[in-house]
Amino acid sequence: MLSTVIAPSILSANFARLGEEVDNVLAAGADWVHFDVMDNHYVPNLTIGPMVCEALRKHGVTAPIDVHLMVEPVDRIVPDFAKAGATLISFHPEASAHVHRTIQLIRSSGCQAGLVLNPATPVEVLDYVLEDLDLVLLMSVNPGFGGQSFIPSALDKLRRVREMIDRSGKPIRLEIDGGVKADNIAGIAAAGADTFVAGSAIFNAPDYADVIGRMKAAVAGAR
């Protein structure tokens, strides 16, 4: 089983002090930085692009940057994020005309590739591409905003994708994103996730180390 990763979503960080927020959350025990890119087209919100990713690298961030593209089209922006220092790039199959080609593009740009399934996207979309992926990201909210509630059907989906990954025998990460909190993360881990995105639960907490520590302890108990 792969190691546990806690990836705070900077969507809920204070953008006026972003470098400091990222430093603080990494010092508090976070493993990755989750970087939500929204285009006001694929999703009804507008956030940050490659320049901000590059700025974080120039600021001195060395942790993996986990870029979640909620943009359409996808391919045009992939090389820009690779140059800006992204470690992983994940995208939605609905936003790419050629899913396999986009995966190859991400990998040939030097990044790891992830595919993101919305709450209503069937797991069969992973057929034929699963073994080309480094990560599967299951959305447990509809993409576009932080602070939403975890959709319970994501647990069954996690179990199904966990089985698919285990059957493949490949070291593919299973990431969950949306409504993840210290008080529901154990059940999410038991359903098969190893990589946990949490935005509001971490950045709205007064003590980042305390909440990340409680999340890691709950995951360790469940796994």
Ligand X SMILES: O=C(CO)[C@@H](O)[C@H](O)COP(=O)(O)O
Binding site for a divalent metal cation: residue ranges?
Answer: 34, 36, 68, 177
* Selected catalytic residue, list 39, 66, 134, 177: 177
Cβ-count burial 154-163 (b if 16+ within 10 Å, e if not) = bbebbebbbe
Q: Which residues contact ligand X by CB under 6 A?
A: 9, 11-12, 34, 36, 68, 141, 143-148, 177-180, 197-201
**Beta carbon of residue 183, minimum distance to ligand X (angstroms, whole number):** 13
Nearer to ligand X, 170 or 213 (CB): 213
- Position 14: which residue type? N
* Selected catalytic residue, list 31, 36, 66, 194: 36
Nearer to ligand X, 174 or 198 (CB): 198
**Beta carbon of residue 36, minimum distance to ligand X (angstroms, whole number):** 5
Q: Which residues contact residue 157 at a Cβ distance below 8 angstroms, ignoring those fewer than 6 apart?
A: 117, 123, 138
**Beta carbon of residue 38, minimum distance to ligand X (angstroms, whole number):** 7
- Position 108: which residue type? S
36 is annotated as an active-site residue: yes
Which stretch of DSSP H or E encloses residue 219? helix 208-222
Per-position DSSP letters for 41-103, written without gaps between them: SSSS-B---HHHHHHHHHHT--S-EEEEEE-SS-GGGHHHHHHHT-SEEEE-GGG-S-HHHHH
Nearer to ligand X, 110 or 147 (CB): 147
177 is annotated as an active-site residue: yes
What residue has token string 């391919």?
Answer: 75
Two structure tokens written together for 26: 């990494």
Residue nearest to ligand X (CB): 199
**Beta carbon of residue 132, minimum distance to ligand X (angstroms, whole number):** 22
Nearer to ligand X, 42 or 85 (CB): 42
> Could you give the residue numbers annotated as active site?
36, 177
